[in-house]
Structure 1
């Protein structure tokens, strides 16, 4: 019997007592679909012979169709198994977490290529978790009408499965090699550019009411750096959020001014304990537009992806996770990210972005400047 079949049977046996990720709170149900984006890249630092030919786009979008049937595991079993081992969870714990997201459900009605709701481009952390490991926040945004598109690069992520069923495992990455990390960062920028160029054609192919001109960018760790980096090059990218990611290239020099709204949302590391991240200091010193820089007390780097929820399922497993309650962190991320994009993409003001709030005492403001 294949390893994948064994995983499948074990996971199905656990579903009856499984825990689901938090339900999105918006007025829409949420669907998800995956798409292969073909692109020949002869300068891929991680691919065999440095050549890659495609990357993966995962689309989270609102739908009116109600979920049917039992909740299903929300992660690929290979992804779950990797992080169970790497982040010290018991085998099967993460794999058994479910969701009610619907695969390839109908889009909302509307004209192709048009929507009153903007689109958001998402980038995952360097080396993982992949896009599926940030499903909670991405589904939350989609439940309020946003279309969110996450991009995964093969060989960098621990595991990806393409729509045709092909699975691609990642390679070992030397995170102490700054040259390699910058090369991976540059590959992310290439992927973002290629996708944005192809995006209108994809929307036409899908016959979907997806906004192709009014786009926000958000990312975790290296994905956050790439979200901000891509904003320099494409006027369709109107605003961006960086989750706890150190910055590279133009972002870390005298030409770093985005002249666009930016939110930097980080762990305590960026301001206390581990020391101040100089790349944030350099970047923020050059900004002339709207800036919000905050840290969330009790968090570590792992609390800016779905691991913050995983740790509530098996407490004490991941020694790298922060002390903040994971369900509370989910609420904070969902609330502040949606408030930022509601403001910068839809013009809906929210007082929680103007300074400390008694409702969210964990969120500490370090930089409040500019206006939208």
Structure 2
């Protein structure tokens, strides 16, 4: 077994001059940090089949509402870890990460070695996709998460003084979501979690949770109770094992990628999945609002009635209690 594994993460926190919610826009220019490096952008576009519609130069020229070296606000803040879907770069969770940072969280978005189409590591080396997609991936990612928490809480580093170690959460898209459940079961420091349209495979999210809260947020087509799909069956098993506060939400007209940045970027070029017509803008709003509400409720102690049931303002979102 190889005990040496490389991990890269982007960390963000609210600063005095924060721009607030995300403004990811293809080709937008500013002094802010790049969305992706050029080689990463090319690898992602090639992998997704978007290379003919969006150029790597344009995507790498996109700027986000983050600036390297900015000094965060004082005090201690809750920490949220985010894990992307398999093959996807950590940048594809930028919209959610920036929303959480704007709400006052320290946010760390992970890239897992050889599990994306291409990730540039310090020193300029780009690691390609090599890892197989197996049932072991969530456990490996859970170990990555615990390692990263250790590093961020290390008092010799710069983040320990701004993180409240009693308030840590984790969420993810696709297999990053199931990895969040495994990480919670194995690491009691993670107090709340979210799975955005990820399966569970052999994961038992109930084992070791000890009543901690968990959110399931997924597509109506595949994840709602009674959908009759393998995806639905996995969630039924997971739901039964969750022994604390829990919510099962399904989003109408959404697709698997509706819970990351891909529809936001693709929508600007008119790239719409006919099987998932929910706009990227609306999908991003739903993801930000409900995942943000989860962590606000359970890491900050805020009321967040959005999680109590259906609302007229969000007709796409249905609540299920099978």
Normalising by the smaller structure, the TM-score range is: 0.7 to 0.9
Equivalent residue for 2:270, pick from 312, 315, 323? 315
Distance 2:117 2:208 in 1: 31
Alignment TM-score, normalising by the size of structure 2: 0.86
The match for 2:236 is: 281
The match for 1:326 is: 280
The match for 1:119 is: 79
User: Closer, same or farther in 2 for the Cα pair 1:250/1:84, shift >3 Å?
Assistant: closer
Aligned to 2:153, the other structure's residue is in SS state: helix
Deviations 1:274-318 (A, max 9, x none): 72521110111122311100011111101111012012211136x
Runs (5+) with no aligned partner, structure 1: 1-41, 44-50, 176-180
Distance 1:321 1:192 in 2: 33
Distance 2:11 2:281 in 1: 24
Aligned to 1:327, the other structure's residue is in SS state: helix
Shifted more, 236-245 versus 77-86: the winner is 77-86
Aligned to 2:162, the other structure's residue is in SS state: coil
Largest Rg, 1 or 2: 1
Distance 2:129 2:243 in 1: 39
Runs (5+) with no aligned partner, structure 2: 20-28
Is 2:293 the partner of 1:339? yes
The match for 2:123 is: 164
Equivalent residue for 1:140, pick from 96, 99, 120? 99
The match for 1:194 is: 147
Say whether the 8 Å CA contact 1:302–1:321 is kept in structure 2: no
Is 2:195 the partner of 1:242? yes
The match for 1:364 is: 318
Considering only aligned residues, what root-mean-square deviation do their CA atoms show, in Å?
A: 2.5
Shifted more, 220-229 versus 203-212: the winner is 203-212
Distance 1:146 1:237 in 2: 14
Distance 2:243 2:316 in 1: 27
The match for 1:61 is: 13
Q: CA deviation at 1:65?
A: 4.0
Alignment TM-score, normalising by the size of structure 1: 0.75
Equivalent residue for 1:106, pick from 66, 71, 78? 71
Q: CA deviation at 1:198?
A: 2.9
Number of residue pairs matched by the alignment: 305
Q: CA deviation at 1:182?
A: 1.2
Aligned to 1:160, the other structure's residue is in SS state: strand
The match for 1:7 is: none
Q: CA deviation at 1:166?
A: 2.9
Distance 2:169 2:199 in 1: 19
Aligned to 1:121, the other structure's residue is in SS state: strand
Is 2:254 the partner of 1:299? yes
Q: CA deviation at 1:109?
A: 2.4
Deviations 1:24-54 (A, max 9, x none): xxxxxxxxxxxxxxxxxx34xxxxxxx6442
